[in-house]
Structure 1
Amino acid sequence: MNLSDFRRTLLVATTFATSAPLLADDAGPGDYLAEGILVVGQRDGYATDDGSSGTKTPTPLIDVPQTVSTITEDQIDDQAITQLADALRYVPGVSLSTGEGHRDAIYIRGQSSTADFYLDGLRDDAQYYRPLYNVDRVEVLKGANALIFGRGGGGGVINRVSKVADPLHPALTLDGGIDSFGAFSIALDANQPLTNGVGARINAIYEDIDNSRDFMSGRFIGISPTVTAELSERTRVSAFYTYDDDERTTDRGVPSLSGAPLTGFDRTFFGDPDFNRSTNVAHIARLRLDHEFTDSLSANLTGQFADYDKFYANVTPSSTDGTTVTLGGYSSRTDRRNWIGQGNLVWTAQTGPVGHTVLAGFEAGDQETIADRGEVGFGGGLRTVTVPLARRLALPAVTDAEISRRTSSDLTFVSGYLQDQVAIGQHLQLIAGVRYDEFTLDTVNLLNGQALSRTDRKWSPRLGVVVKPMQTLSLYASYATSFLPQSGDQFTTLDANTANLEPEKFRNLELGAKWAIHRNLFATASVFQLDRTNTRAADPANPGLVVLTGEARVSGFEASIAGRLARNWQVTAGYTYLDGEIRSDTSAAPAGRRLQQLPRHQASAWTRYDVTSTFGVGLGAIYQGKQFASISNAVTLPDWVRFDAAAFWDVGPRLALQVNVENLFDADYFSSAHGDNNIAPGEPLSVRFGVRLKL
C-alpha cells in the first residue's frame, strides 16, 4: 500500500473513529480491518492518529510537521469535564487567562487570544465559554500556520471536532452528575438511523453552575442536533445545528498586594452580585458536502452561519492597600453574525516513487458586529469607589452611568490556498504551500459618526520536511507564518493609528520527532522559536507617532505521550519549557521584560488504570511554574501543583458510576489572571458524583 492509498484509507476509517492504529497484532473487541489497516472503535483511549486538521487532507498525525495535542472523548469523560478551559489545563504549552470573567481566553506559546477557536475547522471567534457536551475531541495545533487557519493563531489554535450522526447503529446515553458545591448537570446523547444511509443524533445538556466563590451561580442549556446522509458510496451530506444559552455570575477574582495575589480572601466576591452578570445565546448552523469524484480526487464544501448575542456587566477590583479595596466597573454588549464558506479539493497521484497529495481551497466570509461599552456609577455617580476589605464587601448602589463606546463593524475576507504534500519513496516527505488573504475591515463610531476602513493583502507560506527512518518514527522541520491586523482579534473598531498600520507578523520555526510506539501509544517532542514582529511602539524621534518596531520572541521545548501503556492502562502526560521576552520596545513594555502568563515550566499527567473489567481508578497532576500576571512584570503568580483523582465502576453493561476529586490535597493556588488585579483563586477540594446509563 503506498502513502496516498494509506491516507485515503485513514480518511474513511476515521470518519466515525477517534484513532487509526498502526499495528494489527493488538486488536481488541470492536476493532476491524480496512484494507489491511486496523481500525479502532469510536471510544478507544487517549491517543489518535488523525492529523487531518493540520493539513485539510487525510494525513496521519505522524506525518504532520507540527506539534498537535489532542484531548479525546474518553479523556473528557474520565475527567468529567464540561467546559473547554478545564480540558486545556492538561495541555502542555497552554496557559489560561481569567478572560474578564466571562469568556474563554488562552495563551499558546506565550501568545494571547480570545478568537483563535475553531469548530470543525471553521472559525468560532466570539467571546464566550465553549461547552464540550457535543464534542468528540479537542485539538490544540501549536505554532503559527495561516495557510490552514488564516489570520491570527500566532501561537496556535484550538479546534473542537463535533460528534456526528452514525447511520448504522442506534444508541442512547444519559449522563448525570452533582458535585460538593451543589452544581449539577444532566446530559443526553441519542443516535438513531433513519433510513438507509441516513442517521440523526442529538446531544443536549442542562448544567447548573456553582463553585466555592461567594455569590457564584448560573446555568447553561445546550442542544445540538446533527444529521448525516450517505447519498451514495461517494457522496455524504452532514447538517449541524447548535443552540447554546449561558447565564452566570461575572467573577473577576481578587486584586494584588505587594507584588502578589491578595491572600485570605479566596471566597470574597469583589463585585456586586446583582450587577455582575454575563449572558450569551449562540446559534451555529453548518452544512457540509463531501464527494469523491474518483479514488484519487475528492472535494468538500461547507457553509456556516453563527449568531452570538453576548452581554456582560461587572464591578471589578483595581487595587488594594490591605485595608481597603478600590473598584470600578463597566458593561458590554456584542451582537455578532458570521457567514463563512469554505471549499477544498484534494487530489492524490503517484508518479513512480513520488507521491503527491495536493490541496487547493478557498475561504470567504462576512462578519457583522455591533458592540458597545457602558460605564458604571456608584452612589452619586462616582466612577470608582473605595470600601473596607471584608468577607462581604459593602458597596453603594451600582448603576449604568453612560455609554462610552458604540461601534458597528463589517469584516469581509476572501482567501485562496494551495498546498502539496510530496512523498519521495518511503522515507522522505515534503510539504509546501501558500495562502493569500484579502481582509477588509470597515468600522463606524456610532457615537460621533466617524467611519474608518482598512484592507490588508497578505501571503502566508508554509514549508515542512518529514524524514521517516521507519514507518512508526518521523523527524520533521517546519517553517510557517501568520498575521494579525492591528485592530486586534475581535475586529470591533479602528482608530486613526490602527487604520494606517500593517498587521503584526508571526513566524514559527520548529524541529520535532513523533513516534508511534505501538498502535495506540503516541509520543512527540519538539523545539521551537516563535517571533512576533510589527508590534506597535512609540517613535523614539517623535513619541506622538506610532511605528512598527516592537518585537518579541518565545523559544521552548515540549514533550508528550498519550495512549495505552497496557490494555488496561491509559496515560496522557506532557512537559513544556518556555522562555519569552520583549526584544524591542513596544507600546506595552520596554525590551527585556518577560512575556505575561508565560510559566517557564509546565507539566501535567493523567492516567487511568482498570483494576478489573468493571472497576478502574484515575490519578492526575498539574504543575505550573511561577509567572507574571501582566506585561508590567509587577505581580507574580506563585508556582503551584494540583492533584486530581477518580474512580470508575461499571455496575452492569448499561450502568456506570463515577467519582472525580479535583484538588485532592486541597492546595491553595492562583490558576489564572487578567492583568495585575483580576486574579482567579484555584478551586479547593471538590468531589463530583456521576452516573451514566446506556439504553
Structure 2
Amino acid sequence: MSFKIRMKPAAVAVFAALGGAHVAVHAADAVLAPVLVKGEAERADGPVQGYRATRSATFTKTDTPLKEVPASITVVPGEVIQDQAMRGMSDVLRYVPGVTAAQGEGNRDQMVIRGNNTTADFFVNGIRDDAQIFRDVYNLERVEVLKGPGGMTFGRGGAGGVVNRVTKRPLFGHVGEASLTVGSWDQLRGTVDVGEKINDAAAWRLNAMAEKANSFRDGVDLDRYGINPTITFTPGGNTALTLGFEHFRDERTADRGVPSQNGRPFDDSRSRFFGNADQSESRTGVDALTAVIEHDFGGVQLRNSFRAAQYDKFYQNVFSSNVAINPARQATLSAYNNSNDRLNVFNQTDLTTKFATGGLQHTLLAGIELGYQDSDNRRKTGQFAPGTNVVPASNPFGTAISFNPTATDANNNVESDTYAVYVQDQIALNEQWKVLAGLRYDKFEVDFNDKRAANTDLSTTDEEVSPRFGLIWTPTARQTYYASYSYSFLPAGEQLSLSPNTEDLNPEKAINYEVGARWDVLPELTLSTAVFRLDREDVRAADPLNPGFFVQTGEQRTEGFEIGLQGQVTPWWQVFAGYANLDAEITKTSASAPKGRKVGLVPDHMTSIWNRFDLGQGWGVGLGVINQSSSYTSFTNSVKLPSFTRVDGAVYYTFNDRKTRLALNVENITDKEYFPTAHSDNNISPGAPLNARLTLSTAF
C-alpha cells in the first residue's frame, strides 16, 4: 500500500499543527477510558441490547440516549446482521424504513434515502467514506442509518441522510469466534473475529473475511477478502489510543441487470445476462489507516480522529442500453470502462464538556474537521465492430473489440480541501424538556484539472453554515416526543467533479422539518414514529436561454411518515420491523424532470418485519417479510418496477456447549419473481430466486 498525498500548503500546515495525532473516532463511545478499556459488551447500558438500540452518537456526535435524539435513526445491530446472514450494505438497508438500495451499475453501493439518490453519503465511525465501492459487514458492530439532513454533523451532502458503519474494536478480555458459510451458487464464505488482552494497558483484535460465489445470473461471480487488525493502548487512566488498519479487496462481475420494454422490465429469464459478462468486471481495493486518541482533562473530554484511506477502483461493462419495440426484439449494447484512484484524509477534533448554569444542564460540543481528497479519473468508451452492438434479445451477447478514450471521456485530477468548525449544545431545561441547537461552518474548495486536449482547469469555493435545532419532551421515562429542523448543502463539486456548466452554481440546499415520538411499549421493545417534510432547493435545471448551461430553479419534496419497532416482545421473541409511506416528487422543474414527476426508486409503501423465535432446547426460527409497492425506475416515469412481497426464513440450532450454532437461512422462500431496484430505465436488477445459506459458527 502507498498513500499518494499532494496536499495544498494550507492543508499541510493544518495537519502539521495537529502534531501527527492520528486518530479516528468511534461513533458510539460515551466516555473515554472506561468505555475503551472495558468495551461495550461489558456495559449494562450499552448502545445495543439484542435487536433494540438504546444509544447513538451518529446525529449528535455525543453519546446520547436515542429517546433524546430529535431525528429518525434506525440502528441495525450486529445480532440482526448475524441472524439474517447479511453480507453487504444492500442486505442491511432492505429492513430500514424509508431507504432503498439502488443498483449502482453493479459496481458500487448506492442508496435512495428519503427520495435522495446518493453514492457519497457513507461514513465509517463518523468519518467520510464516499468512494464508489462495495462494503462488507465482517468487521461491524452495527450500522446506524440517519434519515434527514445531517449537515451539522457530517458537512456537505447527506441531503436525505447518511449511513454510518460502526466497526468492532479491542475489548479488554477474550474474543474468539469463527464462521463458515456454504450457500447456493457455490457460495463459500469464512469469517474470524479474535482478540485478547495483552496486559492491563493494551488489547488487540483481528477481524478477517474471505468469500467466493457465483450467481443465479449467467456468468456473474464474486471474489473478495478483508482483514482489519486493531490495537488499543491505555498508557494512563485518562488516555486511550486505538490504531487500526483495513486491507480490503473486492472483485466481481459488474451486472447491470435487464432492460425494459413497454414500461416494464423485459420479460425474459431472470438469469440472462444482457451484454458480455466476461468483459464486465469491477475491481476495488481499499487500504485504510485509522487511529483514535481520547483524553479526559477532568471534566473536558478530547477526541481527535484521523482516517487516511486509499481507494483503487476499476470497472468495465458491456450492457444493454435499450430493447427496441419491434417484432425482432433487438437489444442495443453499449460499453465503457472507468478507473478511479482516490485518497481521502480526514481529521476531526472534538471537545465535550458538561456543566450547569442557572439551573440548566448543558452538554457542550465544539470541534473542527479538516479534510483533503485527491481523485484521478479516466474513462474509455468501448468500440464494437460495425453492426455488432445490435443483437437479438433472445441471445444478447456482444463483444467490444477495444476501449479507447473519446473527446468527451473523462480524464482529470480533482483535489478538494475541507475546513469546518462546529458547536452544539444539548440543554436540559428540566427533567422533561430538552433543547438541542447546533451550528457548523464549512469551507469546501475544489480544484479540477482536465487532462484532455482542451485542458480546462476549473475551481470553486463554497462557504456554508448548517444549522440544526431540536426540542425534546419526555413526559415519562417510557415516552418521548420531538420536533426538529435540520439542514445540509450540496456544492457543485460535492462528488469531486466539475464542468464549465456547473462551476459557478451555488450549493443545493436540503431542509427537513420533522416531528416524531418514541415509546417503550414494553421494557425492551421500542416503537418509534416520525412525520417529516424534506425539501431540496436550488436543484439544477437546464437553462432555456443558454443551451448546455444550468440555472438553479428545480425543487424536490419528499413527505411521509415512518414507523419502527425493535426489541424483545417476550423472552423468546425478538422483532425488527419498519414501515414507510413516502411521497417524493419534483415540485419545480429540475435538470432531471419537469414539475409533477415522481422521484425514481421511491415506493409509496415499504414494509418489512423480521422475527426471531427461540423455541428452547437449542432451537430457534426466523421469519421475515418484505413488501414494496410499485415505483418508477427514474425521473422519466416511463418504466415501473412492479410491487412485490418477499418471504425469508431461518432455522437455528445451538449445540449443548452454547458456543456452536448451525443456521440455515433461506431467502425468497416462495421463489417470487421480482425486481427490487434499478439504475435507469434500462438497467433493472432481477431479484434472486429461492436460495439458501448454511452457516456454522463457533466461539472459542
Same fold (TM over 0.5): yes
Task: Pick the aligned partner of 2:205 from 190, 201, 219.
Answer: 201
| Change in 2 beyond 3 A, CA 1:545/1:327 | closer
Q: Secondary structure at the match of 1:100?
A: helix
1:406 corresponding residue in structure 2? 411
Equivalent position of 2:380 in the other structure: 374
Output the CA distance in 1 between the equivalents of 2:37 and 2:581.
35
Shift of 1:171: 2.2
Please tell me whether residue 432 in structure 1 is matched to residue 431 in structure 2: no
**Distance in 2 between the 1:10 and 1:515 partners?**
26
Gaps of 5+ in 1: 1-6, 20-29, 33-37
Query: What is the aligned counterpart of 1:674 among 679, 689, 695?
Result: 679
The residue type paired with residue 64 of structure 2 is T
Measure the CA separation in 1 of the matches of 2:420 and 2:664: 48
Q: Give the C-alpha shift of residue 472 in structure 1.
A: 2.2
* Residues in 1 aligned to 2:225 and 2:37: alpha-carbon distance in whole angstroms: 26
Query: Is 2:576 the partner of 1:572?
Result: yes
Deviation (angstroms), 1:271: 2.0
Indicate how the Cα distance of structure 1 residues 9 and 531 shifts in structure 2: closer, same or farther if over 3 A, else same: closer
CA pair 196-173 structure 1, distance change in 2 beyond 3 A: same
Equivalent in the alignment of 2:469: 463
Q: Is contact 1:44-1:74 (8 Å) kept?
A: no
Partner of 2:368: 362
- Name the CA distance, whole Å, in 1 between partners of 2:252 and 2:549: 42
1:297 aligns with 2:300: yes
The residue that corresponds to 1:478 in the other structure is 484
The TM-score normalised by the length of structure 1 is 0.93
**Alignment partner of 1:161 is 2:159:** no
The amino acid across from 2:317 in the alignment is N
Counterpart amino acid of residue 410 in structure 1: E
Match of 2:517 in 1: 513
The equivalent of 2:696 in structure 1 is: 691
Q: What is the CA–CA distance in structure 1 between the aligned matches of 2:182 and 2:205, rounded to whole Å?
A: 25
Equivalent in the alignment of 2:626: 622
The one-letter code sitting in structure 1 at the alignment partner of 2:70 is P
**Matched-pair contact (CA < 8 Å) for 1:209–1:248:** no
CA-atom RMSD in angstroms: 1.9
In the alignment, is the contact (CA less than 8 A) between 2:29 and 2:35 conserved in 1?
Answer: no
Q: Counterpart of 1:49 in structure 2: which amino acid?
A: T
> d(CA) in 1 for partners of 2:150 and 2:397?
49
Which residue of the other structure, out of 56, 65, 78, is the alignment partner of 2:61?
56
Letter in 1 for 2:489: F
Query: What is the match of residue 275 of structure 1?
Result: 279
Indicate if the aligned counterparts of 1:270 and 1:316 stay in contact, CA closer than 8 A.
yes
Instruction: Establish whether residue 170 from structure 1 lines up as the match of residue 174 from structure 2.
Output: yes
- Is 1:146 the counterpart of 2:151? The answer is yes
How far apart are the structure 1 equivalents of 2:459 and 2:30? Answer: 47
2:92 to 87, 90, 103: 87
Q: Deviations over 1:217-269 (max 9, x none)?
A: 12011000011122222211111111110100010000000000012231111
Match of 2:261 among 257, 261, 284: 257
Give the letter for the 1:401 counterpart.
N
Residue among 438, 453, 461 paired with 2:459: 453
Label 1:325 to 1:8 Cα distance change in 2 as closer, same or farther (>3 A). Answer: closer
Partner amino acid, structure 2, of 1:436: Y
Q: 1:111 to 1:11 in 2, by over 3 A?
A: farther
- Which one of 240, 243, 259 corresponds to residue 244 of structure 2? 240
- How far apart, CA to CA, are the structure 2 residues paired with 1:484 and 1:458? 10
The letter of the residue matching 1:368 is D
Letter of the 1:174 counterpart: A
Aligned to 2:309: 306
Q: Letter of the 1:186 partner, please give it.
A: G
**What is the correspondence of 1:323-362 to structure 2 with a 5 Å cutoff?**
323-351=329-357, 353-362=359-368
Distance 1:330 1:525 in 2: 44
The structural deviation recorded for 1:518 is 4.3
Identity of aligned residues (%): 37
Relative to 1, partners in 2 of residues 1:15 and 1:685: Cα closer, same or farther, differing over 3 Å?
farther
Equivalent residue of 1:434, what SS?
A: strand
CA contact (8 A) 1:133 1:205 kept: yes
* Cα distance per residue 1:75-101 (max 9 Å; x no partner): 000000111111110110001111011
How many angstroms apart in 1 are the aligned matches of 2:528 and 2:399? 55
Q: CA deviation at 1:209?
A: 2.5
Whole-Å separation in 1 of the counterparts to 2:37 and 2:637: 47
Q: 1:16 to 1:531 in 2, by over 3 A?
A: farther
- Using the TM superposition, give the Cα deviation of residue 17 of structure 1 relative to its aligned residue in structure 2, in angstroms: 9.4
Cα deviation, 1:150-174, whole Å, max 9, x if unaligned, reads 100000000000001112x112111
1:18 shift after superposition: 9.8
SS of the aligned residue for 1:274 comes to helix
Instruction: For residue 393 of structure 1, report the CA deviation from its aligned partner.
Output: 3.2
Give the aligned partner of residue 26 of structure 1.
Answer: none
The one-letter code sitting in structure 2 at the alignment partner of 1:79 is Q
TM-score with structure 2 length normalisation?
Answer: 0.92
SS at match of 2:279: coil
Distance (Å, rounded) in 2 between the aligned partners of 1:241 and 1:673: 34
Of the structure 1 ranges 72-81 and 586-595, higher mean CA displacement relative to structure 2 is found in: 586-595
Where in structure 2 are the equivalents of 1:503-652 lying within 5 Å? 503-540=507-544, 545-652=549-656
Q: Compute the displacement of 1:331 (Å).
A: 0.2
Work out the number of aligned pairs and report it: 666
- Structure 2: distance between partners of 1:12 and 1:429: 28
3-state SS, counterpart of residue 611 of structure 1: strand
d(CA) in 1 for partners of 2:673, 2:86: 21
Can you give the 5+ residue segments of structure 2 that lack an aligned partner in the other structure? 1-27
Q: Is the 8 A contact 1:47 1:521 kept in 2?
A: yes
Deviation at 1:473, TM superposition (A): 1.3
CA separation of 1:405 and 1:543: change in aligned 2, threshold 3 A: closer
Q: Offset of 1:353 from its aligned partner? A: 3.2
Helix, strand or coil for the counterpart of 1:80?
coil
Report the CA distance shift for 1:355/1:12 in structure 2 as closer, same or farther (over 3 A).
farther
Cα distance between partner residues in 2 of 1:613 and 1:70: 30
Deviates further, 89-98 or 347-356? 347-356
Shift of 1:400: 1.1
User: Match for residue 3 of structure 1?
Assistant: none
1:72: which partner in 2?
77
Task: Decide whether the 8 Å contact of 1:535 with 1:548 is kept in 2.
Answer: yes
For residues 579 and 57 of structure 2, what CA distance do their matches in structure 1 show?
Answer: 24
Measure, in 1, the Cα distance between the counterparts of 2:114 and 2:616: 40
Q: 1:544 to 1:387 in 2, by over 3 A?
A: closer
SS at match of 1:86: helix
Equivalent AA in structure 2 for residue 259 of structure 1 = G
**Residue in 2 aligned with 1:105?**
110
Amino acid at match of 2:678: A
Per-residue deviation, 1:113: 0.5
Instruction: Write the distance in 2 (CA, Å) between the matches of 1:179 and 1:672.
Output: 23
SS of structure 2 residue aligned to 1:364: strand
CA drift of 1:545 comes to: 4.6
SS at structure 2 position matched to 1:54: coil
Q: Structure 2 vs 1, CA of residues 613 and 123 (structure 1 numbering), >3 Å: closer, same or farther? A: farther
Aligned to 1:24: none
Alpha-carbon displacement from aligned partner over 1:373-405 (angstroms, at most 9, x marks no partner): 11001125x7x7110122x53424532133522
Change (3 A) 1:338 1:397: closer
